[in-house]
Chains A and B, each alone.
Chain A
Amino acid sequence: VTGGSSAVPGQWPWQVSIVYDGTHVCGGSLVSKKWVLSAAHCFPREHHKDMYEVRLGAHQLDSFVPKAEARSVAQVLVHISYQQEGSQGDIALLQLSNPVTFSRYIRPICLPAANASFPNGLQCTVTGWGHVAPSVSLQAPRPLQQLEVPLISRETCNCLYNIDAKPSEPHSIQQDMVCAGYVKGGKDACQGDSGGPLSCPVGGLWYLAGIVSWGDACGAPNRPGVYTLTSSYASWIHYHVAELEPRVVPQTQESQPDIHLCRSHLALSSAPARGLLG
């Protein structure tokens, strides 16, 4: 996480660390005693599930404390539609080898139902042990980092990603994605946060609105973080884990248009007479 701060132990008790061959590679979110949600791109086909371990209840990655638990992975379910970075379906379900015991430091986050809608501008929080800047690792003892990020609509996010877009690197924000972050940059998720939670508060509960998926560098201007929209996969999750009940998210706040955040939109609309091309 770039531009964030250290969390307090137990503040995000659903955050897990996914370790491959002894090294932290991704984040994840605990959604029940035996299941964790993460990103599909954290589980390349050639990696065997026995090489993964899930650490729960951790705060500093470099200091293992009694309240933290570790589990091996019994099953990895990667969504069939995931192909490569930026494609749809960047979501994975992990079954733990044994259930965990909930505690002050290990608790599940709520899964939003399929029809859930979180308003533009809602202040959510992204957490993780990832880089603090492109290719700059979090320093030992690596405390969990947190960052409040406002949600940005898909339309506005597409508009932002078209500013100074490189033809060789087309980016499009798909139906199953949501953006969050800052137009001016400097505060964002980064490598190593992938798979971790975008936690959004509604009605006194935290919901897993998104899963850290991709972005252009970290904290670059006009390049907010892009997250897999968890509610798009409520039925896929329920199909594989029948006991997991997605929750209806109460509609508390109207979603306000946020297209004004995208400078290039203003340029286009302010000069139609000169026939500016899109």
Chain B
Amino acid sequence: AEAEALCGVASQAR
């Protein structure tokens, strides 16, 4: 679950 909790986030802002 720890891995999935980080989903959908890209550290590089547009």
In whole angstroms, how far apart are the Cα atoms of A112 and B6 in the complex?
A: 14
In whole angstroms, how far apart are the Cα atoms of A8 and B14 in the complex?
A: 8
- Which residues in B have their C-beta under 8 angstroms from that of A8? 12, 14
Interface check A1, CB cutoff 8 A: no
In whole angstroms, how far apart are the Cα atoms of A108 and B8 in the complex?
A: 6
Question: Do A9 and B12 contact each other (CB < 8 Å), given the known contacts A33-B3, A244-B4?
Answer: yes
Q: A245, B14: Cβ atoms under 8 Å?
A: no
- Which residues in A have their C-beta under 8 angstroms from that of B1? 243, 245
In whole angstroms, how far apart are the Cα atoms of A32 and B2 in the complex?
A: 10
What DSSP secondary structure best describes chain A's contact surface?
Answer: loop
Q: B3, A104: Cβ atoms under 8 Å?
A: no
Interface check A181, CB cutoff 8 A: no
Q: Whose C-beta in chain A lies nearest to the C-beta of B1?
A: A245
Q: A13, B7: Cβ atoms under 8 Å?
A: no
* B1, B4, B6, B10 — most chain A CB neighbours (10 Å): B10
Q: A108, B6: Cβ atoms under 8 Å?
A: yes
Checking A31, A111, A206, A243 against B10 with a beta-carbon cut-off of 8 angstroms, the contacting residue is A206
Q: Whose C-beta in chain A lies nearest to the C-beta of B5?
A: A245
- Which residues in A have their C-beta under 8 angstroms from that of B12? 8-11, 13, 104
Q: How large is the interface on B (under 10, 10 to 19, 20 to 34, 35 or more residues)?
A: 10 to 19
Interface check A207, CB cutoff 8 A: yes
Interface check A149, CB cutoff 8 A: no
A52 to chain B, nearest CB (A): 23
Interface readout for A226-254 with B: 1 if CB under 8 Å, 0 if not? 00000000000000000111010000000
Checking B3, B4, B6, B10 against A12 with a beta-carbon cut-off of 8 angstroms, the contacting residue is B10
Q: A11, B8: Cβ atoms under 8 Å?
A: no
Question: Do A102 and B3 contact each other (CB < 8 Å), given the known contacts A8-B14, A11-B14?
Answer: yes
Q: A206, B6: Cβ atoms under 8 Å?
A: no
Checking B4, B8, B10, B14 against A207 with a beta-carbon cut-off of 8 angstroms, the contacting residue is B8
B9 to chain A, nearest CB (A): 7
- Which residues in B have their C-beta under 8 angstroms from that of A205? 7-9
In whole angstroms, how far apart are the Cα atoms of A22 and B12 in the complex?
A: 29
Q: A206, B11: Cβ atoms under 8 Å?
A: no
* B1, B4, B8 — most chain A CB neighbours (10 Å): B8
List B residues at the A interface (Cβ < 8 Å).
1, 3-4, 6-12, 14
List A residues at the B interface (Cβ < 8 Å).
8-13, 31-33, 102, 104, 107-111, 205-207, 243-245, 247
6 pairs, CB–CB < 8 Å, chain A vs chain B: A10-B10, A10-B12, A11-B14, A107-B6, A109-B7, A245-B4
Given contacts A12-B10, A32-B3, 15 further A-B contacts (CB under 8 A): A11-B12, A13-B11, A31-B7, A32-B4, A102-B6, A104-B11, A104-B12, A107-B9, A108-B6, A206-B8, A206-B9, A206-B10, A207-B8, A243-B4, A247-B4
